[in-house]
Amino acid sequence: MLMKANGIQMNYEISGKQEVQTVMLSHSLGSSLVMWHPQMDLLEPYFVVLRYDTRGHGRSEAPKGPYTLELFGEDVIGLLDALEIDKVHFVGLSMGGMIGQCLALNHPNRLHSLILCDTSSIVTKEGQPAIQERIDTARNRGMQALVGPTMERWFTPSFISKNPPGLGIIRKQFLATPVEGYIGCNEAIRKLNYRDQLSGIKLPTLILVGEDDPGTPVAAAQAIHERIKNSKLVIIPSARHLSNVEQPKVFNEALLGFLRSL
């Protein structure tokens, strides 16, 4: 469904149990709300489940960038206000986890809890060239030139070799991502710098990371875990960046266990 929020049309889907707390799911760069399909059967019996397409992705508008993480945070608040939802458990993977940190720092009163998956709290000077290369490739050669290397970062070789249906869905969505939106979101990601503020997050926090994630590795998750007091860290074996897709059973058990413990 489409809803006007923070000045743009945002696409969202809402499902699950009624009159209970809401779990909000925020996807990675180059994906969309379809990324969360492996979690839906698990969450819907217990929660209202709100998925949305980040600005520049899926069926949400892709206005000319660059964007900022703070803008993404305001998009979330605008959508929650439009839907008259006061507070959510916020689950963000990769770029979604960066948005989650932004919300926890700037709008903690809108969150019950924070779940950060395969994400980072800072992009260092050394990480800038890789982002610039992605931007240049998308601008000059389109998403097709990026899909192969991206799938290799997102999934282990054994998962790719099995070619499960979920892989095709993720690949198709990546190719459908608007170039303008992809570039705008990369511009937001390259400015990520929340690490020194993380000790200010007092929300119940779960951190999930694929054991073999090359883009936001275990060390990045540990750095977040060390700074958010009383946070819980779970390392998911045999998974790269999209751990929720590659190892849904382990991911789901950790996620639901955490949410139901609150």
pLDDT digits (tens, 9 = 90+) for 23-55: 999 999 999 999 999 999 999 999 999 999 999
- All residues at 6 or more sequence positions from 162 whose CB lies less than 8 Å from its CB, including other chains: none
Provide the 3-class DSSP secondary structure of residue 113: strand
Q: What percent of the chain has pLDDT over 70?
A: 100
- All residues at 6 or more sequence positions from 168 whose CB lies less than 8 Å from its CB, including other chains: none
Whether the model clears a pTM of 0.85, i.e. scores above it, the answer is yes
Residue 65 has pLDDT above 90, yes or no: no
Residue 233 has pLDDT above 90, yes or no: yes
Write the DSSP string, 96-125: HHHHHHHHHHH-GGGEEEEEEES--SB--G
Find out whether 50 and 111 touch, Cβ atoms under 8 Å.
no
Rounded Cα–Cα distance for residues 59 and 170 (Å) = 15
Rounded Cα–Cα distance for residues 184 and 191 (Å) = 12
Residue 104 has pLDDT above 90, yes or no: yes
Tokens of 131: 């982002």
